[in-house]
């Protein structure tokens, strides 16, 4: 299996980030962004077990870590973590890989050589991103959902509580990524939804400055001399370079890389750095001396975290998982959608990036959403009516591009989560919400060990009533025992035997009106 094939295997697990074992001598300096690189295959550090150090791949959707053999390019095992792990990090002393479990409020420490769990540290609130200071005196987490940055003192001698909270610093909107300078003095934080950069003094846990920067900032990379800070602008197509050697940062240059500039990985030569462009589906190489793009690679499927191996030739890339290394509205799916149009189906929006409304969102907005697809997957965003309407329009625009067919003026909120204020905002821009009936949730996305097919079938046959709207999916990644066709065909037969007939939503007495109108393609409603 080639390295390119290995990369594709990694993608199938829904990888968010990759770490390839213990770094070799020419790796990036401590604290310099991204994962470290592995020694040559078959090597082992003194005191370690013989054999190759594994590649560790974080599976955010599955809440575990894949352990990949770097020689055979096969998965050895999976190591369970907590819920919603979004980033993993090799400690400066190279003794642990830490997985930040945002929804479990915990950290999982894994031995980077044996892949055994060393410990789980709990009561670390909403750890989305994480960093140690190079001297390992300070540990910092960004709470992406709860809008704060936690600074901890590292006390490894205390096995029960190795992290002591020094201070919780509240942030404006959505702390995203962290970077700490080589002197262990300053932590830099991007605030994704308020488009800001914050610098904090670690010794005093005080804010040095908060400044406005570009759209939707994400990962950061600080050069070895601590002077130049690169920031990926996921909401734009640039990396912004700042001089941070003074009391306040100064913008040096905006480097055009590609849409969705997001994550960095050092080349290992103290000069070049990779940046993933999640929307453009490319990876750019930036010369940190000239602040210019010197190379670019195609990386279809939304590249995210990267790992550069010790052979100085192989770059591993974690991307959004799909069976075809793309997404369901990209060009390779266009023939499939055209075939569905030819069959006479109706189409409605489900938002572009699968924005799931959070329960604590206000009734009238702005609302808070968990993004579960696209460049911001796993993050929480705050959005007004205009932004939500754009999420509804983009699938309609894309369907028209692929098929020449206009979508209906209807939508279903991801996970069915909505409120009256959000529905009013959608109506104002031309979309009507169409949900499912309580008994119409057929359960095909549930865990098949807890909700086996036979149980789902019997429940549906028992509870469905006349007029109910039913919902099912074309396929679900996480369900091991496929729901269709095993249940679908028997359900249709069973409902017919009970005297039911079937109608499409076009014929529904309430929702039919939405399917008689066309979805607007522009903010003007046209």
- Is the pLDDT confidence value at 209 over 80? yes
pLDDT tens profile 347-374: 999 999 999 999 878 888 899 999 988 7
pLDDT of residue 191: 95
Q: How far is CA 520 from CA 186, 390, 430, 447, 526, in A?
A: 48, 10, 6, 37, 5
Higher-scoring residue by pLDDT: 168, 20: 168
Higher-scoring residue by pLDDT: 321, 312: 312
- Which tokens is 345 given? 């189906």
Q: How far is CA 391 from CA 112, 433, 484, in A?
A: 40, 14, 29
Cβ(100)–Cβ(88) below 8 Å: yes
Q: How far is CA 105 from CA 85, 205, 345, in A?
A: 10, 22, 44
pLDDT tens profile 425-455: 999 999 999 999 989 899 888 877 788 989 9
- Is the pLDDT confidence value at 250 over 80? yes
- Is the pLDDT confidence value at 37 over 80? no
Task: Tell me if the bond preceding 289 is cis, omega within 30° of 0.
Answer: no
Higher-scoring residue by pLDDT: 264, 331: 264
Cβ(357)–Cβ(418) below 8 Å: yes
- Report the distance separating Cα 26 and Cα 24, nearest Å: 6
Neighbour-count burial of 386, counting CB atoms closer than 10 A to its CB (0-12 exposed, 13-18 middle, 19+ buried)? exposed
pLDDT of residue 84: 85
> Look-up: residue for tokens 């804010």?
207
pLDDT tens profile 153-201: 999 999 889 999 999 999 988 899 999 999 999 999 999 888 999 999 9
Q: What is the average pLDDT across 289-304?
A: 89
Higher-scoring residue by pLDDT: 9, 72: 72
Cβ(10)–Cβ(24) below 8 Å: no
State the pLDDT confidence band at 522, using cuts at 50, 70 and 90.
Answer: confident
pLDDT of residue 281: 84
State the pLDDT confidence band at 107, using cuts at 50, 70 and 90.
Answer: very high
Q: What is the average pLDDT across 25-46?
A: 30
pLDDT tens profile 397-409: 999 999 999 999 9
pLDDT of residue 29: 31
Residues above pLDDT 90, as percent of the chain? 58
Q: How far is CA 65 from CA 57, 59, 300, 308, 452, in A?
A: 5, 6, 23, 19, 26
Lowest-confidence segment of 21-35, 77-91, 100-114, 478-492 by average pLDDT:
21-35
Rg (CA), the chain: 24
Mean pLDDT of the chain: 85
In 3D space, the residue among 245, 237, 230 whose CA is nearest the CA of residue 190 turns out to be 230
pLDDT tens profile 300-319: 767 888 888 777 777 888 76
> Look-up: residue for tokens 């002077």?
227
pLDDT of residue 362: 87
- Is the pLDDT confidence value at 7 over 90? no
In DSSP terms, 261 is beta-bridged to 277
In angstroms, how far is the first alpha carbon of the chain from the final one? 50
- Report the distance separating Cα 13 and Cα 33, nearest Å: 23
- Is the pLDDT confidence value at 2 over 60? no
pLDDT of residue 326: 57
In 3D space, the residue among 54, 37, 45 whose CA is nearest the CA of residue 310 turns out to be 37
- Is the pLDDT confidence value at 36 over 80? no
Q: How far is CA 277 from CA 61, 219, 222, 231, 353, in A?
A: 21, 11, 18, 12, 16
Question: What does residue 506 show for φ and ψ, rounded to 5 degrees?
Answer: -60, -30
- Report the distance separating Cα 222 and Cα 231, nearest Å: 9
pLDDT of residue 300: 72
- Report the distance separating Cα 116 and Cα 250, nearest Å: 44
Beta carbons within 8 Å of 102's beta carbon, 6+ residues apart = 83, 84, 85, 86, 126, 127, 128, 144, 145, 378
In 3D space, the residue among 122, 153, 127 whose CA is nearest the CA of residue 138 turns out to be 153
> Look-up: residue for tokens 């009391």?
247
pLDDT of residue 33: 33
Q: Are strands 410-411 and 432-433 parallel, antiparallel or unpaired?
A: parallel
pLDDT of residue 193: 82
433 three-class SS: strand
Residues above pLDDT 70, as percent of the chain? 87
- Is the pLDDT confidence value at 265 over 50? yes
State the pLDDT confidence band at 477, using cuts at 50, 70 and 90.
Answer: low
pLDDT of residue 141: 98
- Is the pLDDT confidence value at 100 over 70? yes
- Is the pLDDT confidence value at 324 over 70? no
pLDDT tens profile 45-90: 334 444 678 999 988 878 899 999 888 878 899 999 998 888 999 9
Cβ(282)–Cβ(258) below 8 Å: yes
């Amino acid at each position: 299996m080639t390295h390119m094939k290995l990369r594709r295997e990694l993608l199938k697990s829904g990888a968010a980030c990759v770490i390839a074992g213990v770094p070799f001598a020419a790796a990036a300096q401590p604290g310099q962004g991204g994962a470290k690189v592995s020694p040559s295959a078959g090597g082992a550090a003194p005191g370690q077990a013989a054999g190759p150090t594994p590649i560790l791949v974080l599976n955010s959707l599955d809440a575990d870590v894949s352990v990949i053999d770097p020689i055979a390019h096969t998965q050895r095992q999976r190591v369970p973590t907590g819920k919603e792990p979004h980033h993993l990090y090799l400690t400066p002393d190279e003794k642990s890989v830490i997985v930040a479990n945002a929804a479990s409020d915990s950290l999982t420490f894994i031995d980077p050589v044996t892949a055994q769990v060393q410990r789980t540290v709990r009561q670390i609130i909403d750890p989305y991103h994480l960093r140690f200071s190079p001297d390992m005196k300070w540990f910092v987490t960004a709470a992406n959902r709860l809008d704060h940055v936690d600074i901890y003192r590292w006390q490894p001698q205390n096995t029960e509580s190795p992290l002591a909270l020094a201070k919780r610093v509240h942030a404006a909107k959505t702390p995203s990524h962290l970077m700490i300078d080589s002197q262990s003095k300053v932590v830099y934080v991007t605030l994704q939804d308020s488009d800001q950069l914050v610098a904090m003094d670690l010794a005093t846990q005080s804010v040095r400055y908060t400044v406005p920067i570009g759209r939707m900032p994400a990962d950061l990379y600080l050069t070895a001399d601590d002077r130049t800070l690169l920031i990926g602008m996921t909401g734009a197509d640039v990396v912004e370079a700042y001089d941070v050697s003074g009391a306040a940062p100064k913008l040096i240059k905006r480097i055009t890389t590609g849409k969705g500039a997001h994550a960095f990985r050092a080349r290992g030569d103290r000069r070049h750095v990779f940046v993933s462009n999640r929307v453009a589906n490319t990876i750019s190489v930036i010369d940190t001396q000239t602040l210019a793009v010197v190379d670019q690679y195609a990386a279809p499927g939304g590249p995210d975290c990267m790992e550069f191996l010790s052979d100085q030739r192989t770059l591993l890339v974690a991307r959004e998982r799909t069976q075809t290394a793309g997404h369901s509205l990209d060009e390779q799916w266009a023939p499939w959608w055209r075939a569905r149009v030819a069959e006479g189906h109706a189409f409605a929006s489900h938002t572009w990036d699968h924005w799931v409304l959070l329960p604590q969102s206000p009734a009238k907005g702005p609302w808070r959403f968990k993004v579960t697809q696209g460049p911001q997957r796993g993050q929480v965003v705050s959005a007004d009516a205009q932004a939500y309407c754009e999420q509804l329009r983009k699938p309609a625009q894309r369907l028209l591009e692929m098929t020449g067919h206009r979508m209906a003026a209807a939508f279903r909120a991801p996970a069915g989560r909505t409120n009256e204020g959000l529905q009013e905002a959608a109506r104002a821009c031309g979309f009507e919400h169409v949900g499912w009936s309580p008994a119409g949730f057929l359960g095909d996305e549930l865990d098949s060990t807890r909700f086996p097919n036979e149980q789902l079938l019997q429940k549906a046959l028992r509870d469905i009533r006349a007029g109910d709207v039913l919902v099912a999916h074309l396929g679900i990644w996480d369900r091991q025992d496929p729901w269709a066709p095993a249940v679908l065909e028997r359900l249709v037969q069973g409902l017919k035997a009970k005297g039911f007939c079937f109608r499409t939503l076009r014929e529904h007495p309430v929702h039919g009106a939405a399917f008689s109108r066309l979805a607007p393609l522009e903010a003007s409603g046209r």
